Structure 1
Amino acid sequence: MMHGQFGPPPRPARKRWAIALVIAGAVLGAALASAAVFFGYQAHAARDTGRENTIKVVGSMTLTSSKGWDISGGKCTGSGGYSDIHQGTSVVLKTSSGKVIGVTQLEGGTVSGTGCAFIWVMDKVPDGDAFYTVEVGHRGALSYPRADLTGVLSATLGN
């Protein structure tokens, strides 16, 4: 079969547009997939490097005044001028710059020697400051060096 002296007849314009559209779609799809993988990896890497080291901080508040606590139902609680010290009293932990990094509550009081002791625990506290402050209720902040956070932070209130 003969097509003329210059080769096969030209393709219809419609087919050329369809082929160009398919190629452009494939290129665009590959570019979008590559971008999704790249940005997904970047977000994952940012999450991994942004993780802070955390520590568990444990503390106690002991009422030492013999007239500052009562026993009821096997538990002790603050009384008189110390009635604000009881199970549920807030404990706030801050960095040396004043940023709050942990909040918890006193657990139920137990008789300990000649006092009434309350324990508190904070999990996953961001680590990295040289000094931290702890405030139990409205009793004022106590400052502790970072090294002390590996043990029990003990505070007393009373005589």
Structure 2
Amino acid sequence: MRRRTRVAAYAICVRDGQVLLARSPGPGGVPEWVLPGGGMEHGEDPHDTVVRKVAEETGYRVEVTALLGVNSLRLTRPTRFGRSVDHHGVRILYEARVTGGELLPQSRLRSTGGTPIEVGGSTDLAAWQDLTAVPGLTRVPLVDTGLRLWRERPPAGR
């Protein structure tokens, strides 16, 4: 079985009782909310990754204010060619503060030419969501993990 490791960095941006989330098409095409962030490029520092990915997915410029923790996930996934891959995801979670930019959905980001974004990105919308509404959202488990780290600030980061 092929093995794959993916390192990614994500932001928890909370202000005025709301958290910044991005929307991604989930399994079966059902949209789900995710933390803004994503995979590191080869040679890229995780700090730079989260700043870049938040800008690409939301239109905002952010300042990283804290390292909240590291989360690891391992699972076996089928590939589109029928083989399985042993996937190990290492997710670095940062607290970040918005310092500039404008919240725009992906379609408008692509058409404005203002903020560089990834072509064919994995998110189509970004929005502030009330913290109290998050439990009712269709979301990936990493959203809950990130918010728990943000609330609890565990010294060991887990």
**Range of TM-score over shorter length:** under 0.3
- TM-score normalised per structure 2: 0.22
The structure whose RCO (Cα within 8 Å, separation 6+) is larger is 2
Structure 1 or 2, whichever has the larger Rg, is: 1
